[in-house]
């Protein structure tokens, strides 16, 4: 079923603010199993909110008005047709601008990285996500209206909105395609406009160095894989490999490997009737007990609960 074409404006102070936890994490309440959401938010900052780090990725387009914006130690003003690219590694917030502030209306695309890569990023997926993973002083996350790319991105977000909640494989394919077109547009902007070009070039080189382990994982994820072995495949020391891997993917190699294996297990749980004990071994876990602990930590439910929720049968 496709999303409604009717626009629904929501107040950020009654929706977004209450999703910020005591640990200053901003948890996005995705309404559907497919982790992508489009909202139209009215933002009137009359009071301070804490700097917070999102647990998701966002592309925010300002439809009208203006706001103060702070990310880490950088301050600026954003307004009509400006874009904010929000990653999950840095703390940020919108700030009050005084009684004469113009009410800001924003179009917000929120998604989890899994929408792009269906589990863990490999190869091109890493490059699609670079606008979010490279944010910092070298790659600013505010794109000004004068660049002229907001209209194209807005049109693609609107296409995504019509496909939500993504209940069919065709609609999920459409969402991924439109999302990758948005990400490619952001990659092209950062690469061609000279903003962060050197950082992007370094990241592409880093991704290239990790290609051997990405390829190896595809074929050998069910086997024991130690950090020192992964490092040798990439012709690097263990220390250098771990730093490089964290820089590119945003997570440790062990955390990445567990997520990769869990993603494979999720597919087997829903697409086959294999016993959970067999699936745990087929996806590289030493025993079913450890598999259950890791699976629950990553997915928030047990393997059996995941299978039943997603239409599989208990085995």
Print the domain residue range for 287: 255-309
pLDDT beneath 50, residues of the chain:
1-4
> 239 and 261: one domain?
no
CATH number of the domain where residue 262 is located = 1.10.10.60
> 247 and 269: one domain?
no
Rounded to whole angstroms, how far apart are CA atoms 260 and 254? 10
Is residue 314 one of the residues assigned to a domain? Answer: no
> 152 and 15: one domain?
yes
> 219 and 262: one domain?
no
Can you tell me whether residue 274 is helix, strand or coil?
coil
> 29 and 76: one domain?
yes
pLDDT of residue 182: 96
pLDDT of residue 1: 40
> 146 and 246: one domain?
no
pLDDT of residue 293: 94
Question: For the chain, how many structural domains are there in total?
Answer: 3
Rounded to whole angstroms, how far apart are CA atoms 149 and 169? 29
> DSSP E strands: which ranges in the chain?
9-11, 25-26, 36-43, 53-54, 57-64, 66-71, 74-79, 83-86, 92-95, 104-111, 142-143
> 188 and 221: one domain?
no
Rounded to whole angstroms, how far apart are CA atoms 268 and 231? 29
pLDDT digits (tens, 9 = 90+) for 60-93: 999 998 888 888 878 888 999 999 998 887 888 8
> 57 and 204: one domain?
no
> 144 and 287: one domain?
no
pLDDT of residue 106: 93
Is residue 315 one of the residues assigned to a domain? Answer: no
pLDDT of residue 119: 58
Is residue 4 one of the residues assigned to a domain? Answer: no
> 209 and 153: one domain?
no
pLDDT of residue 123: 61
Is residue 2 one of the residues assigned to a domain? Answer: no
> 22 and 116: one domain?
yes
């Amino acid at each position: 079923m496709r999303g409604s074409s009717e626009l629904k404006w929501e107040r950020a102070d009654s929706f977004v603010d209450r999703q910020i936890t005591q640990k200053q994490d901003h948890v996005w309440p995705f309404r559907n199993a497919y982790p992508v959401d489009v909202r139209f938010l009215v933002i009137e900052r009359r009071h301070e909110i804490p700097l917070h780090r999102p647990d998701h990725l966002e592309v925010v387009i300002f439809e009208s008005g203006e706001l103060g914006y702070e990310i880490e130690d950088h301050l600026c003003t954003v307004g009509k047709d400006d874009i904010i690219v929000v990653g999950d590694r840095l703390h940020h917030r919108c700030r009050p601008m005084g009684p004469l502030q113009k009410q800001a209306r924003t179009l917000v695309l929120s998604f989890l990285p899994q929408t792009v890569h269906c589990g863990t990023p490999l190869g091109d997926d890493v490059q699609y996500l670079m606008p979010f993973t490279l944010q910092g002083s070298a790659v600013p996350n505010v794109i000004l209206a004068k660049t002229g790319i907001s209209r194209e991105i807005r049109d693609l977000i609107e296409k995504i909105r019509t496909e939500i909640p993504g209940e069919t494989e065709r609609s999920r394919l459409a969402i991924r395609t439109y999302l990758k077109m948005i990400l490619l547009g952001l990659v092209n902007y950062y690469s061609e406009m000279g903003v962060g070009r050197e950082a992007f070039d370094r990241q592409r080189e880093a991704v290239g160095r990790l290609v051997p382990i990405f390829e190896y994982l595809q074929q050998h994820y069910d086997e024991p894989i130690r950090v020192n072995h992964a490092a040798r495949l990439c012709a690097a020391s263990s220390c250098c490999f771990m730093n490089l891997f964290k820089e590119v993917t945003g997570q440790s190699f062990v955390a990445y490997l567990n997520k990769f294996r869990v993603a494979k297990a999720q597919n087997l749980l829903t697409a086959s009737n294999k016993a959970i004990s067999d699936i745990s071994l087929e996806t590289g876990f030493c025993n079913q007990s450890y598999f259950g602990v890791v699976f629950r930590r990553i997915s928030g439910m047990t393997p059996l609960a995941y299978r039943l929720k997603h239409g599989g049968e208990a085995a």
